[in-house]
Amino acid sequence: MVTELTYTQHLFAGTRDELLAKINKQLKPKRFKHVQRVEQTAIKLAKINGVNLEKASIAGLVHDYAKQRPDEDFIAAIKQYQLDPILLDYGNAIWHGVVGAELIKHELGIYDEDILNAVRHHTTGAVYMSPLEQIVYMADYIEPERDFPGVDVARQLAETDLAKSVAFQAKHTLQYLVDNGKPVYPKSIDTYNAWVPRYPNV
């Protein structure tokens, strides 16, 4: 069942349909569907964890807002908004969250820092993540079309012990990066250290 919230909290200056229309312009159909599944998953996890449903809806919908922007847009934004220049060493995988949050703020007029942090941290996680941030991080990982070994364990954990599910993702994502010789963003290691030792057997 699809939950279509009516926005009343002025976190975005418009209706959910108006937000959807703006996101639709930025994304190819496949990714537009993905963000709507992440929204629905985030709302489900927000209900379980007593988190603001409207924030879950908006954060889920906008989390990949910048995913299909050209590199030049991110490089310009890193300079314009004086973000950490170390970001220039990375690419879209990191930029669309950390830098994407700035584009969301300035282009969509969404200023809620909890929502923006959920976008910033949805790929790498973070040492401290609010319940909303944890929800978006997990919803992106377990939305219904995700299919990887362990996804059912991740889904089960996310619905029963959100923090433990964050540890699960942090561990398995780092493991995947190492196993495949892919670069690891230093903050992902910080995330690992902050979350995984709390649940050594996850």
Contact residues: Fe ion, CB under 5 A: 64, 140
Tell me the two tokens of residue 197.
């030792």
CB-wise, 100 or 131, nearer to Fe ion? 100
Burial class (CB in 10 A: 0-12, 13-18, 19+), 80: exposed
CB-wise, 141 or 192, nearer to Fe ion? 141
CB-wise, 130 or 199, nearer to Fe ion? 130
Integer CA distances (angstroms), 81 to 66, 86, 102, in order? 15, 14, 8
CB-wise, 39 or 64, nearer to Fe ion? 64
* Beta carbon of residue 49, minimum distance to Fe ion (angstroms, whole number): 20
* Beta carbon of residue 154, minimum distance to Fe ion (angstroms, whole number): 15
Distance CA 142, CA 152 (A): 8
* Beta carbon of residue 119, minimum distance to Fe ion (angstroms, whole number): 9
* Beta carbon of residue 31, minimum distance to Fe ion (angstroms, whole number): 8
Distance CA 76, CA 161 (A): 39
